[in-house]
Amino acid sequence: MIDYVQPFFRPPSEGKSYILQATIGCSHNTCTYCAMYRKDEQKFRVRPMDEIKAIIDDASEKGLIDDRVFIADGNALVLSKKKLIEIMDYLKDKNPAIERIRMYANVGDILRQGVENLKELREHGLDMVYIGFESGDDVVLERIKKGANHEETVRASKMLKEADIKNSAMVLLGMGGVDRSLQHAEATGKLLTGADPEYVGALSLQVRPGAPLFEEMQRGEFELPDKFQMIKELEVLVENTELTDGYFFSNHISNYLAIKAKFPEDKEKVLREIKSVIEKGDENLLRPDYYRDVINQY
């Protein structure tokens, strides 16, 4: 049995998926807000193919793989098209019931793969990728060393659409700090409009020890918006987001106000709800800080 390198991460929606750790760590790993892959043992590397197949063999024999697989770690799309296809084909040969295969991806890897490679990956089972957009504000994106700008993110998203691979985009309330709070929210909504992902997950930034941004906060170089400013960002974000046919969620435990909506039909109702919370200014309408404190322990 080949062990997972801990900790490993997956989106909440992949809770019922088998996690195949084909890569370890994140090949980019310079984002200033992220503390996910900072341990020495998580230094980025690709598992040898025979090791990946041995993991699949073991999991298949034990009946651990059902109909869903998530290929980890931080951005498995960094692998070559040939290697990804070999992995996905082997998975399905061993487990014919597999219906969907998903992974994290970053904008640079999508652009590098190109539309034709993405189409082939779709044919072999890749039906959705999760991308951390974080912000649509190029000033913020450069500051946090995201490695992609607004225009590149839109271009990569259009490639996914052309390849028929669904896009689940994550954005971070508070990522602009106090100084660029509203610019960040407005630009991020416009980015979502241009990218038009099928799913949007709005999370609230939590700055954890180990992330370079934590040290910036300690030095007074970054200030996180307060809870009602986070809600104001959510309002501005929603106002500026137009989706052709997408789902918008802010129900992650990091958020002060939980929203589940279908765009465009629920947009105005959601805006009324957010505005009402802001106008009342009642903290009892928000999720308690306790929940954010709990996930900050991990």
Q: With a threshold of 0.75, does the pTM exceed it?
A: yes
Q: Is pLDDT at 51 greater than 50 in this prediction? A: yes
pLDDT of residue 1: 64
Q: How many domains does the chain have?
A: 1
CB atoms within 10 A of CB 114: 12
Q: Residue 2 falls within a domain, yes or no? A: no
Q: Residue 7 falls within a domain, yes or no? A: no
Q: Report which of residues 294 and 232 the model is more confident about.
A: 232
Q: Residue 194 falls within a domain, yes or no? A: yes
Q: Residue 182 falls within a domain, yes or no? A: yes
pLDDT of residue 50: 96
**What distance in Å separates the CA atoms of residue 157 and residue 269, rounded to the nearest whole number?**
27
Q: Is pLDDT at 99 greater than 70 in this prediction? A: yes
Helix axes 227-239, 267-280, angle to 10 degrees: 150
Helix axes 81-94, 49-61, angle to 10 degrees: 20
Q: What is the CATH number of the domain that holds 235?
A: 3.80.30.20
Q: In whole numbers, what is the pLDDT of the chain averaged over residues?
A: 94
By the 8 A CB rule, do 148 and 124 touch?
no
pLDDT of residue 291: 65
Q: Residue 247 falls within a domain, yes or no? A: yes
Main-chain dihedrals φ then ψ at residue 162, nearest 5 degrees = -65, -30
For 262-292, the pLDDT digits (tens) are 999 999 999 999 999 999 999 999 988 766 6
Residues of the chain with pLDDT > 90, as a percent, come to: 86
Of 196, 295, 192, 181, the C-alpha closest to 228 is: 181
Peptide bond into 89 cis (omega under 30): no
Q: Residue 1 falls within a domain, yes or no? A: no
Q: Residue 4 falls within a domain, yes or no? A: no
For 111-139, the pLDDT digits (tens) are 999 999 999 999 999 999 999 999 999 99
Q: Residue 6 falls within a domain, yes or no? A: no
Q: What residue numbers bound the domain in which 21 lies?
A: 12-295
For 167-210, the pLDDT digits (tens) are 999 999 999 999 999 999 999 999 999 999 999 999 999 999 99
